[in-house]
Amino acid sequence: MDDERGLPTVWVWGDQLDRRLAHLRDRDPASTRVLMVVSDRKLTERPWHRQKAHLVITAMRRFAADLAAEGFAVDLRRAPSMRAGLAAHVDAHDPSEVVAMEPASLPGTRELERLGVTLVDNDHFLCHWREFAAFRAGRRRTTMEDFYRWRRETTGWLMEDGAPVGGRFNLDADNRRPPDADLAPTAAADPPVVDAPDALDASLGDWLPDDVDLRGAPPDGTWATSRAGALARLERFTTRVLPRFGDHQDAMVTGAWHLNHSLLSHALNLGLLHPREVIEAVIDVYTAGRAPLNAVEGFVRQVLGWREFLWGVARTADAGYPQRNALAADAPLPPAFAGTSGTRMRCVEDTLRSVHEHAYAHHIQRLMVLANLATLAGVRPDALTDWMHGTFIDAYDWVMVPNVIGMGTFADGGEVATKPYVSGGAYIDRMSLDACRPCHYDRTKRTGADACPFTTLYWDFLDRNRAALASNHRIGRAYATLDRLTDLDEVRARAREVRAMLADGTL
């Protein structure tokens, strides 16, 4: 069949690895050819974490093998670019039509439209972006909480007689308990699923261009590269980890990189898992009485609420959204983030160690350590977005742009978040077991050589951005406190030193 010309081609992108989705669901293997392209341009457009590059390419190769075993004619090829890969495929096979499911990212969709590819709606999400746009139409602003409540009502998940189970839509207040000494040992006793490497893992180098810039630790089997591996990780989470997930969602413990988090976002974003099956599996555990409501609701909110909301924002935002910079931040990415220097900030050091070793840090480390520090220091939002896109195992354009521009840095001026998510060292100390003890810096000090950089920069950030932020009612109390500081000139001077040290890698 490989020699037959004129078969229709389904172009499967590297984050659409699901036979059940719209592009493949009704396709007959005997009369369909599949194209998959590993793009050199994509691999060289930015530095990538080794585990991220391994994950995507290896998962594509495994999915291609699965499709071939089912009877599809599969053209998995490495090419200089996605466009070049399509052109070579057309030359070789002369397809009657090229069909693709619309990519998750808006730039990807626009590229396929320019290439004349026939697009079908993306159903890897539970709320299509047109439905999101209709929900958003006419509203002055749409928060994630508005969207989440609507989706709960629409789907009926965790609803009873038109009301949320338990009486509240959002149980986040129950999920912010500070960590205790038992948290890390309990999590360590139930380690993540790890797959033994095979020949496919070992041959990754054949698919990499010579000038690829890979960073971070090599793959160790933590991240699923197959449907079977993803299901094994889903089963671990629902049966053993979910009951402990809720109480300490926001907690940080030095050295305990995964705690009670699901570690499923990479599989969800690749297409190895579908959000519907993940949500339903979690709700089934609650229905069976094996997990508390606060844990189940908190996880459902992450998938049904935040993940879907971000996709809607990314797909309906204006073309200039990725370059938004409402606070005019212009500092470069800290060399500590890029791995070219260390840092004496213990919470940052531990988070970056997790990133180096696992291409992963949980949501509070990303938001309240990395993005918080970058926002306080005035790091360019697009530089932070680019770094996170290449570094995190679950990062894609549609994920990172609204996460960083909207939530992490407040660069969209409040379109996604109702306030900047910034804090001094006190928050990090409260939500961590040991991040501030011992540390070179003192979280209680805002001036002096040993003052916590977060604490110094927090007050300086409010001062520098008063014109843009002082009218925000959610941080009015912070400005009232700022106005009572008697050492603001010293804070400003120390903040200048801290920003310079962060930029030159000596902080």
Whether 97 is in a domain gets the answer yes
State which of 120, 150, 173 marks the end of a domain.
120
Clarify whether residues 90 and 236 are in a common domain: no
- pLDDT tens, residue by residue, 420-436: 999 999 999 998 988 89
Clarify whether residues 308 and 340 are in a common domain: no
- pLDDT tens, residue by residue, 369-384: 999 999 999 999 999 9
Which position has the token pair 């011992």? 438
Whether 67 is in a domain gets the answer yes
The whole-number average pLDDT for the span 168-196 is 88
Q: Would you state the pLDDT for residue 2?
A: 47
Clarify whether residues 291 and 405 are in a common domain: no
- pLDDT tens, residue by residue, 211-255: 999 999 999 999 999 999 999 999 999 999 999 898 888 889 988
- Could you tell me the two tokens for 355? 């990133």
H-helix or E-strand spanning residue 34 = strand 33-39
The whole-number average pLDDT for the span 492-497 is 98
- Domain at 169, CATH number: 1.25.40.80
Whether 3 is in a domain gets the answer no
Clarify whether residues 73 and 162 are in a common domain: no
Q: Would you state the pLDDT for residue 1?
A: 42
User: Which residues fall within 8 angstroms of residue 429, CB to CB, at 6 or more apart?
Assistant: 435, 436, 437, 443
Inform me whether the pLDDT recorded for 454 exceeds 90.
yes
3-state secondary structure of 331: strand
Domain that holds residue 495: 322-504
Whether 4 is in a domain gets the answer no
Q: Would you state the pLDDT for residue 4?
A: 65
Task: Return mean pLDDT, the chain.
Answer: 95
25 half-sphere exposure, CB direction, 13 A CA radius:
9
CA dist 160 and 324 (Å) reads 41
- Domain at 13, CATH number: 3.40.50.620
Inform me whether the pLDDT recorded for 482 exceeds 70.
yes
The phi, psi pair for 35, rounded to 5°, reads -110, 135
Whether 327 is in a domain gets the answer yes
State which of 73, 89, 120 marks the end of a domain.
120
Task: Report the predicted TM-score, pTM, of the whole model to 2 decimal places.
Answer: 0.95
Clarify whether residues 356 and 370 are in a common domain: yes
User: Which residues fall within 8 angstroms of residue 446, CB to CB, at 6 or more apart?
Assistant: 424, 452, 455, 456, 458, 459, 487, 491, 494
State which of 282, 316, 350 marks the end of a domain.
316
User: Which residues fall within 8 angstroms of residue 2, CB to CB, at 6 or more apart?
Assistant: 73
337: DSSP letter? H
3-state secondary structure of 393: coil
- pLDDT tens, residue by residue, 331-368: 999 999 999 999 999 999 999 999 999 999 999 999 99
181 half-sphere exposure, CB direction, 13 A CA radius:
0
